[in-house]
Amino acid sequence: MSSLPPFGPPPPYVPPGREPGYDPWDGYYRPASRPPPRRVRARRGGLLGGLLALLSAIYAYGKYALLFVSKFGVLKTLITLAISFGIYAQFFGPWFALGLVLMILVHEMGHVLEIRRQGMRATAPLFIPFFGAAIFQRSHPADALKQAQIGIAGPIAGTIGATAAFVLYGSTHWPPLLVWALVGFYVNLFNLIPVGMLDGGWIMGAVSKWFQVLGLSVLVVAIFVIHVNPVILIIVLISIPAIIDRFRNDRSPYYQSVPWGARLAMGAAWLFLVGYLAFATYQTTQLLSTTVG
């Protein structure tokens, strides 16, 4: 079935095969179809080139970003933080888990900043589920006072972070902030127990060896009050070598070089933090029970 000719006079006769637009079956001339313009090909080539350039830029800058993350241990911190968050969320819910890992991170970064302020190196925080987090010093201070300053920097930073959450709750009345504040107060108060590898052990280790005995007694009592919590029991076992080492090296220059004025100042700072955190923990607990009720 032939198609209808277009309106107007028919086109002049063109011998078959001489023009690409001539259709011998229809018997008249059809305009030849034009090939795709080259500018379309150029546009496709430009799009492909743009994608390649973008991928090259991502590779060039991405590898430096990855190098930065790996160099400073941020990647390890983020991975262990995510793992801890997932585990805590399974037991306590996502909002509690988020507040817990944030408060621990603020606490540990206080240690890291003080270590670097003293010109030493340390790893980025590594989160350990149900044990908080840990940093590893690649060099150690020359005396117990500098180690005490590193030890107290964590609770100071953590106390500031918990207080900020408490103040923000007063402005927003968002309940998770109150929970985060309570978590921060409690975590930092617990870490100030003066025993072994806890921050309080490093802080009060510069003051007197007998604070290690006091801290150990607090943990032993806590074991019976909290019905033999395995985490506290592990802390006690890990702390025993540090307690023995503190008594054995009491006369070493590492401890004896600390002036009495510095010992009193460090002891007073520790006592102030303990008092403030104990009061803040009590007040936040009362406010939280009123809010929940």
Residue at 12 is within a domain:
no
Q: What is the mean pLDDT of the chain?
A: 81
Length of the chain: 293
SS3 126: strand
The whole-number average pLDDT for the span 86-97 is: 95
- Tell me, yes or no, whether 85 lies in a domain: yes
**Domain for residue 187, yes or no?**
yes
Would the pTM of this model clear 0.95, i.e. be above it? no
Q: How does pLDDT run across 250-260, given as a tens digit for each residue? A: 999 999 999 99
For residue 82, tell me if it sits in a domain.
yes
Residues near 94 by beta carbon (within 8 Å), at least 6 away in sequence: 85
The DSSP-derived string for 15-42 is -TTSSTTEETTTTEE-PPPPPPPHHHHH
> Is 159 inside a domain boundary?
yes
Q: Residue 53: inside a domain, yes or no?
A: no
Q: What is the pLDDT of residue 50?
A: 56
| 59 domain residue, yes or no | no
Q: Which is more confident, 45 or 286?
A: 286
Q: Which residue has the higher pLDDT, 21 or 159?
A: 159
Q: Is residue 220 part of a domain?
A: yes
Domain region containing 265: 72-292
Query: Is 270 exposed, middle or buried, given 0-12, 13-18 or 19+ CB atoms closer than 10 A?
Result: buried
- Tally of domains within the chain: 1
